């Protein structure tokens, strides 16, 4: 069995795609041992609970208020996670930049970013790509899944990427929808590849 920790801060649609792939048997020999959120209202926490997955809520605000550092926050999170079996840490909309205090505990951390490698790092990648397209600067965008070996933001060795076209009649919403659909499929396929488990057809149960 391969065990994942999935870290989220928001809606958790990528988390849901991974849960669905596991439950449908598409992603065999894989379990999510824990879901972590740094935001209490993250809907992804509710998704995890509904599927009986243990959750951890670990906010940074109390650390900041107490004058404690990101390193201390990261050390405590690593300590909490040590209670769970974890082969791969999957960042899925996780809005916190890890320091080496966390990164040194886990050598296999994947992150997903809704842009092609090197393009539009940060929180507004889809909007920025949409606006760059309107200015005639780009003709396509994409999705990247990369390893997180250090403290860089939305950068690191690329594990997978896929191009996503932008069409003249796209709205920001239609582009977002197309990108998220690619993310959900690409994350599941990449996790399978990294874990070395064969993806099964969706209808086939394990």
Q: Up-side HSE of residue 11: CA atoms within 13 Å toward CB?
A: 5
* Rounded Cα–Cα distance for residues 163 and 111 (Å): 17
Closest listed residue to residue 180, CA positions, set 8, 2, 4, 16: 16
8 binds ligand GRF, rule: CB under 6 A: yes
- Of 12-20, 33-41, 65-73, 81-89, the window that binds ligand GRF (rule: CB under 6 A) is 12-20
Closest listed residue to residue 102, CA positions, set 68, 138, 122, 72: 72
Report the site for ligand GRF in 72-131 (rule: CB under 6 A).
92-93, 112-114
| SS3 per residue for 143-204 | EEEEECCCCCCCCCCEEEEEEEECCCCCCHHHHHHHHHHHHHHHHHHHHHHHHCCCCCCCCC
Provide the minimum distance between the beta carbon of 23 and ligand GRF in the complex, in angstroms, as a whole number: 17
Provide the minimum distance between the beta carbon of 62 and ligand GRF in the complex, in angstroms, as a whole number: 23
Q: Which is nearer to ligand GRF, 75 or 121 (CB)?
A: 121
- Of 3-11, 33-41, 53-61, 165-173, the window that binds ligand GRF (rule: CB under 6 A) is 3-11
Report the site for ligand GRF in 38-67 (rule: CB under 6 A).
44
Provide the minimum distance between the beta carbon of 92 and ligand GRF in the complex, in angstroms, as a whole number: 5
183 binds ligand GRF, rule: CB under 6 A: yes
Tell me whether residue 146 is one of the annotated catalytic residues: no
Closest listed residue to residue 164, CA positions, set 122, 204, 114: 114
Contacts 24+ apart (CB under 8 A), 50-57: 51/19, 51/23, 53/19, 54/84, 56/80, 56/81
Residue among 113, 146, 180, 184 flagged as catalytic: 113
Q: Which is nearer to ligand GRF, 47 or 105 (CB)?
A: 47
Cβ pair 6, 30 in contact under 8 A = no
Provide the minimum distance between the beta carbon of 68 and ligand GRF in the complex, in angstroms, as a whole number: 26
13 binds ligand GRF, rule: CB under 6 A: yes
* Rounded Cα–Cα distance for residues 206 and 54 (Å): 23
Residue number with the smallest Cβ distance to ligand GRF: 93
156 binds ligand GRF, rule: CB under 6 A: no
| Site residues, ligand GRF (CB under 6 A) | 8, 10-14, 44, 92-93, 112-114, 183
**What positions carry a catalytic annotation?**
113
């Amino acid at each position: 069995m391969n065990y994942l920790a999935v870290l989220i801060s928001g809606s958790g649609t990528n988390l849901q795609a991974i849960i669905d792939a596991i439950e449908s048997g598409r992603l065999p020999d894989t379990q999510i041992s824990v879901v972590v959120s740094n935001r209490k209202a993250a809907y992804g926490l509710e998704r995890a609970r509904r599927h009986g997955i243990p959750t951890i809520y670990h906010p940074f605000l109390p650390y900041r208020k107490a004058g404690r550092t990101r390193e201390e926050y990261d050390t405590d999170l690593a300590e909490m996670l040590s209670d769970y079996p974890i082969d791969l840490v999957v960042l899925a909309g996780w809005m916190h930049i890890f320091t080496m205090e966390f990164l040194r505990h886990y050598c296999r951390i994947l992150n997903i970013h809704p842009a092609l490698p090197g393009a539009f790092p940060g929180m507004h990648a889809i909007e920025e790509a949409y606006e760059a397209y309107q200015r005639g600067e780009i003709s396509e965008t994409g999705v990247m899944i990369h390893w997180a070996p250090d403290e860089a933001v939305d950068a690191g060795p690329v594990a997978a990427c896929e191009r996503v076209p932008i069409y003249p009649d796209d709205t920001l919403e239609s582009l977002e929808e197309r990108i998220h659909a690619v993310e959900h499929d690409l994350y599941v396929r990449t996790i399978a590849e990294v874990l070395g488990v064969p993806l099964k057809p969706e209808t086939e149960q394990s």
